[in-house]
Amino acid sequence: MSASTLPFDGLLIGSSLATLAEPTGYGEITDGALAWKDGVLAYVGPRADLPGSPETLAREVIEASGWVTPALVDAHTHLVFAGDRAREFEMRLQGATYEEIARAGGGILSTVRAVRDADEDALFEQSLPRAQALLRDGVTTLEIKSGYGLDFESERRMLRVARKLGQTLGITVRTTYLAAHALPPEFKGNADGYVEALCAWLPDLHAEGLVDAVDAFCESIAFTPTQTRRVFETARALGLPVKLHADQLSDLGGAGLSAEFEGLSADHVEHTNEAGVRAMAASGTVAVLLPGAFHVLRDTKLPPLDLFRAHGVPMAVATDCNPGTSPLLSLRQAMQLACTHFRLTPEEALRGATTHGARALGFHDRGQLRVGMRADFVVWHVRHPAELCYWLGGDLVHSVHAGGVRAA
């Protein structure tokens, strides 16, 4: 039989599989086999049940040990930016308030200045190592937001860089338009005027194929529910899904607002009330937990985790990689923080960084090891999947595959 007529393009044997194919549990298959054809999983099961010897089934046969899981999905990042804010981190630890840091030239507007000063090549060169770090740690699907440009050309440049990162690394990048992130200096005192402007930019950016979803920061220090609603109505008119930075610092009903627009997700959600949780459950909106920001800001207000569980709201886990409040370059570390701070089980954290992370981006073709799903998977040097949340740091990845092709 020639290579072109073999049933599979690739076959991995010898590892145990954490399929996550059932609603609970790891879906363990010991001494498993994983095969793919045209970038899609074509066999997932025990090695002993393969319909022939490996060499007669696939052009490429990989023998491995350890465990295989679905590849990780990072459903919330601000990965494209210029510069850093390490000095602010130091100032905050020395007791400086947010206002003091802003007066000293820090805060989100310092990143806005750096992004506006960076051309597309410089922005790409600074952002690429961050995306590579996530990939090396098992991420093959990645959301990247704009929101550090806050004018048309700078937001456009951020979104173009995000697209280029996915093309360069051979991974999936979902782009999210987050111009409603902060008020730029040229619109000081005129938030409504800025919202009108950013809504006017969106159709052109969407027409260029640069926007997959629309987000906003609904908070007392950012944009009101009324202003956020205006952004969401613009997105809906264009057929774009929405998500929301919701209820991080206070309860403004952000989770419920996202659910009202059938949002893909409500993110942060530390202050979300039970009515918001019920609305999310009814709309299928995913709760995206961001323990990196919780950790860096030394927050103490936990998200309503028991309510999410009781009402069946899926909980994703993401890095929130950003220069100010979550300079986190490992989704596996975010999983560990979710277990430590939020008391998620390792299984919940893994499912949050795979199955539920995919759902938070609108994907239903990844996040599990099942026939018909994308062949996105990671081979790990571990003896049990719980180790992915147990180790603080370290290199646990053997290989990362995206669409059946080794990416790291």
Annotation-wise, does 356 bind a ligand?
no
CA angle 19, 286, 387 (to 5 degrees): 40
Which strand (E) or helix (H) includes residue 200? helix 191-207
CA–CA gap between residue 220 and residue 169 (Å, rounded): 38
Contacts of 125 (CB under 8 A, 6+ apart): none
Burial of residue 132 (number of CB atoms within 10 Å: 0-12, 13-18, 19+): middle
Burial of residue 157 (number of CB atoms within 10 Å: 0-12, 13-18, 19+): buried
Backbone dihedral region for residue 318 (phi beyond 0: left; psi -120 to 50: alpha; all else: beta): beta
Neighbour-count burial for 16-42, b at 16+ CB within 10 Å, e otherwise:
bbbbbbeeeebbebeebbbbbbeeebb
CA–CA gap between residue 11 and residue 3 (Å, rounded): 13
Annotation-wise, does 148 bind a ligand?
yes
Contacts of 56 (CB under 8 A, 6+ apart): 1, 6
Annotation-wise, does 325 bind a ligand?
yes
Q: Are 313 and 285 in contact (CB under 8 A)?
A: yes
Annotation-wise, does 374 bind a ligand?
no
Annotation-wise, does 181 bind a ligand?
yes
CA–CA gap between residue 103 and residue 266 (Å, rounded): 31
Contacts of 368 (CB under 8 A, 6+ apart): 19, 20, 21, 27, 70, 354, 355
Annotation-wise, does 43 bind a ligand?
no
Annotation-wise, does 76 bind a ligand?
yes
Annotation-wise, does 206 bind a ligand?
no
Give the SS3 label for residue 112. helix
Give the SS3 label for residue 185. helix
Sheet architecture: strand order including 67-70: 28-29, 16-18, 67-70, 377-380, 397-402, 405-406
**Which residues contribute to the annotated binding site for Zn(2+)?**
76, 78, 245, 320
**Which residues contribute to the annotated binding site for 4-imidazolone-5-propanoate?**
85, 148, 181, 248, 325
**Which residues contribute to the annotated binding site for N-formimidoyl-L-glutamate?**
148, 322, 324
**Which residues contribute to the annotated binding site?**
76, 78, 85, 148, 181, 245, 248, 320, 322, 324-325
**Which residues contribute to the annotated binding site for Fe(3+)?**
76, 78, 245, 320
